[in-house]
Amino acid sequence: MKRHQDALFALEWRSYQPYLPLDAKSRLIWGATLLVLLAASLAFIGDSVSIESVFAFGAFLVALLSGYISMFQSLILWENGFREWWLTIPAPRRDLLRAMALAAMRMQAYAAFGIWLVCGLHGLVIAAMGTNPGEAITGTRLLGDWFAYGFLYAMLVPLFTAVGYLILGMYYGWRRWLVLPFFLVLMLPILSFAIVANPTEGVQRWLQPDAVFVCALIGSALAALLYRGMLAFVTRYGMTDLARHRPGGHAKASEGKRSETARSRFRVANGGFAAIYGLERARFRHFASLTLVRILYACACVLIGIGGYYVVRERSGALSLIQVMLILMAVVPALVLSTLTQFEANKRRIDWWLSLPYGRKSLLFARMAATWVSILTWMGGLFAAAAAGGALHGGGAFAREFEAGRDGMLLSFMVLTYLGGGLVINCILIGQSYAFRNRLVSWLYVPLVSGIYFVPLLVDKWILTDDKLQRGVGPTSWIWLGIAAAACVPLAVFCFNLGARWVHLYPFNTQKAGRRSCALRDTA
């Protein structure tokens, strides 16, 4: 790389350094996360599939992380306040894009290594237990899987990172229609989970180390071509669109239309709690109004509708689809809310937010309510699409076998369990700000936060079992749900109040604070 390219890469890589395991706290977070992933894989997967299928699950997870994180970074770049400054750096825009992509690939390589390590440890534990179905897990077999899938993971990182950044060139003009095949490519890993879990010989043959190694070789050539193609495509279209874009999404100079003055499209109340709720809600409404987001959402609705058409053939398939969507409704709001608060702290906007003439509880509750209403609204559209797809099939076996007493109570139990659990998870994560004050609490909170997203999966495995989905829930299940609510609601209220009291500590956990800590450690 040329000297200016090295400097650009160093600039981009600097933003990732606070997330690396370079100090005691970061190593704790990484270690706890990997242990939670290992525990989750042993609890939910265990010896139910072959070790090659476990490595294949890890490969899909690597692809999802690389693709969706780079896509998310591409989407927020349009509204980034440093976008114009970044574009005016005296260097070719192709080099700017290359530095950003390479830094993202390097960061994703750390995550891929962690997933690869977890899959290998999963194999070691299952081998030690001696319960793996089929052929025994020998040292030679595990070593072959480890090397072959390590090569595959190394190929998937640049391949899907390049795919994710392609969306930078699809924001305006005729290129918007490329979002549909783009979205389908990013959906491939999700759609393939069930395939690699199949124990049949035909599927397992493609998961063996020799076949995986050949696929990784072919994929490496494809990744190199796609990376170069992404640089050329985004440099020609995306970087020009970025330069013409005006934050707010109303000025469309890149489409040849007259630029208009950005104006508020979302009215809020004159004052009180409704005003701060309207302020928070406007953020999500603006995001949903972006044309690219609308196209992605329409693609998701079409895919869910197609899925609904086919899954209603069996009652169990329809219930599984409903369960998966409820799990997303339980987990996504908490993830969005915690990410949003940390993002605003990194952008130094949290000080302004806390200075608004409202109590901290009101500010946090308004943000949480706006997040939940937005996610429920979007998920409601997906549920409607799935229902429409099922209706086109005449309701299938789900409609013919539906019993109001059994299935009505079961669906009510599922909704209350997942959404109630999601609210509790949300409040517990809000209390994370206290961990910035107390080191002991921080050590306890890290594994808790890392594992809390697996709670809906625990519900799926031990509470809403296949037997309950088949026969329905009885009085005992409702009693246990009431006991869980009596225990979790006070905990949720306590964590919410604790988080509201110490939310002002978020600026001490920002990227800038992390870089300052790294600098102090280097000079020590």
Strand locations in 74-159 (E): none
Which pair of structure tokens corresponds to residue 256?
């040849």
Residue-wise pLDDT tens digits, 13-71 = 888 887 788 777 778 778 888 888 888 888 778 887 888 889 999 999 899 889 988 98
Q: Kindly tell me the sign of the dihedral angle through the C-alpha atoms of 495, 500, 505, 510.
A: positive
DSSP string for residues in 300-369: HHHHHHHHHHHHTTSHHHHHHHHHHHHHHHHHHHHHHHHHHHHHHHHTT-HHHHHTSSS-HHHHHHHHHH
The residue with tokens 């308004």 is: 366
Higher pLDDT, 108 or 439: 108
State mean pLDDT over 111-115: 93
State mean pLDDT over 305-320: 85
Residue-wise pLDDT tens digits, 468-487 = 888 888 888 899 889 999 99
Q: What's the rounded Cα separation, in Å, for the pair 30 and 25?
A: 9
Residue-wise pLDDT tens digits, 164-180 = 999 888 888 888 888 87
CA within 13 Å, CB half, 426: 24
Amino acid sitting at position 4: H
User: Who's near 290: CB < 8 A, 6+ residues apart?
Assistant: 249
Which pair of structure tokens corresponds to residue 184?
């389908």
Tell me which DSSP letter residue 168 carries: G
For residue 298, pLDDT over 60 is answered with: yes
pTM of the model: 0.69
Amino acid sitting at position 386: A
pLDDT at 254: 39
pLDDT at 259: 38
Residue count (the chain): 524
CB 223 within 8 A of CB 155: yes
CA-based end-to-end distance of the chain:
31
The residue with tokens 């899909």 is: 60
Region of poorest pLDDT, from 132-141, 262-271, 416-425: 262-271
pLDDT at 225: 95
CB 422 within 8 A of CB 339: no
Q: What's the rounded Cα separation, in Å, for the pair 421 and 414?
A: 10
What is each CA distance from 280 to 274, 285, 423, 500, in whole angstroms? 10, 9, 18, 17
For residue 511, pLDDT over 70 is answered with: no
Residue-wise pLDDT tens digits, 360-378 = 899 999 999 999 999 999 9
Helix, strand and coil content of the chain, in percent to the nearest 5, comes to 80, 0, 20
For residue 226, pLDDT over 70 is answered with: yes
Helix (H, G, I), strand (E, B) or coil at 77: helix
pLDDT at 103: 93
